[in-house]
């Protein structure tokens, strides 16, 4: 990883996804940065040609930094299902189609699990992964990653969150992400436990770029 650099002032959140934007703004809020989204600025969405989540996060972050002359913060994340060979993986958003129909995407996951005879909880293991990148216009970048494991349930439960949240029940919990409040899902210590993949990646980012310190409750 490159030598850490403090993140301050105005920052572009390189996303057009309203759900991600809400979470990322919430994570950045305590650190006094002014966050503006790529969507707010009318920036184009770069083609995500990376072969990993980290590569795609870098593509988005560097695109926004270059176009605005400001530091940019990007996330690339996805759902990886063991019984489906890691799918949808990098294509997590694409499974929802151009209409961003995540009910249809969750239904596809469920149908493919049934086709794979993955009907018992132990056969329905999956994880969410988040790769974060902070990029500066001069080419400096820092990368972070977080993972949370769980079991896929059917039917989906809960109206909260976004994407595949209603069918993902994280390990050690009886409720899905779709049944949790934002604070429960991605709140950071001491108010939350840094449960989500994005929160876990952000803990490392905050320690590097803001000098934050978290106890072990933020790393379970």
220 is catalytic: no
Short-list 184, 121, 127, CA closest to 153: 121
Catalytic residue among 40, 75, 76, 171: 76
Residue 18 vs residues 74, 163, 168, 212, 216: alpha-carbon distances, Å: 13, 11, 20, 26, 30
Q: Per 3-state DSSP, what percentage of the chain is helix, strand, and coil (rounded to 5)?
A: 40, 20, 40
- CA distance linking residue 104 with residue 5, whole number of Å: 41
Name the nearest CA neighbour of 147 among 95, 48, 77, 50. Answer: 77
Q: List the 10-13 sheet strands across, edge first.
A: 34-37, 10-13, 72-81, 125-135, 141-152, 168-170
Structure-block tokens of residue 142: 């820092």
Alpha-carbon distance of 128 to 112, in angstroms, equals 18
118 vs 92: CA distance, rounded Å:
19
Q: Which residues are catalytic, by number?
A: 76
């Amino acid at each position: 990883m490159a030598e850490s650099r403090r993140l301050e002032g105005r920052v572009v959140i390189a996303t057009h996804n309203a759900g991600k934007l809400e979470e990322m703004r919430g994570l950045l809020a305590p650190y006094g940065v002014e966050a503006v989204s790529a969507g707010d600025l009318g920036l184009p969405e770069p083609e995500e040609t990376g072969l990993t989540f980290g590569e795609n996060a870098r593509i988005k972050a560097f695109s926004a930094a270059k176009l605005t002359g400001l530091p940019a913060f990007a996330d690339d994340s996805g759902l990886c299902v063991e019984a489906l060979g890691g799918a949808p993986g990098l294509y997590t958003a694409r499974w929802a189609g151009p209409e961003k129909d995540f009910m249809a995407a969750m239904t596809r996951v469920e149908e493919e699990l049934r086709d794979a005879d993955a009907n018992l909880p132990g056969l329905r293991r999956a994880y969410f992964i988040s790769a974060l990148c902070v990029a500066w216009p001069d080419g400096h970048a820092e990368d972070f990653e977080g993972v949370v494991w769980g079991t896929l349930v059917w039917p989906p439960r809960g109206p909260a969150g976004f994407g595949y949240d209603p069918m993902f029940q994280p390990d050690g919990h009886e409720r899905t992400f779709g049944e949790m409040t934002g604070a429960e899902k991605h709140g950071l210590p001491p108010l939350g436990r840094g449960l989500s993949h994005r929160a876990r990646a952000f803990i490392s980012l905050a320690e590097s770029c803001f000098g934050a310190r978290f106890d072990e409750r933020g790393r379970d």
